[in-house]
């Protein structure tokens, strides 16, 4: 995938957000794909997670915050 080549990263390091047919290639190759509840049916089929929010209700920001919160809750505290 060209994005990974340009950014010198692996698909396993990518979280993709999308709702439209043009997002399908990225959603299919990302390690985690997140779509809003009002995404196209063809887009929902390839998604790993369908958000309870839609594009008009801050889907992207809410899901990104959720993912970051989950990640932060799984990081052990640093020793002093």
Radius of gyration of the chain measured on its C-alpha atoms: 14
Helix H segments across the chain?
A: 2-7, 24-29, 41-46, 59-73
Rounded Cα–Cα distance for residues 15 and 32 (Å): 5
Q: Regarding predicted confidence, which is higher, 38 or 77?
A: 38
Q: What is the pLDDT of residues 54-79, one digit of tens each?
A: 999 999 999 999 999 988 887 666 55
Provide the whole-model pTM.
0.81
The domains found in the chain, sorted by start residue, are 2-73 (3.40.50.1000)
Neighbour-count burial for 15-52, b at 16+ CB within 10 Å, e otherwise: ebbbbeeebbebbebbeebbbbebbeeebeebbeeebe
The pLDDT assigned to 50 comes to 97
């Amino acid at each position: 995938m060209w994005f990974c080549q340009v950014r010198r990263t692996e698909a396993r390091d990518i979280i993709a957000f999308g709702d439209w047919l043009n997002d399908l290639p990225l959603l299919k190759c990302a390690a985690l794909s997140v779509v809003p509840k009002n995404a196209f049916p063809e887009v929902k089929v390839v998604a790993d997670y369908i958000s309870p929010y839609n594009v008009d209700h801050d889907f992207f920001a809410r899901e990104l915050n959720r993912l970051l919160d989950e990640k932060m809750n799984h990081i052990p505290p640093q020793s002093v």
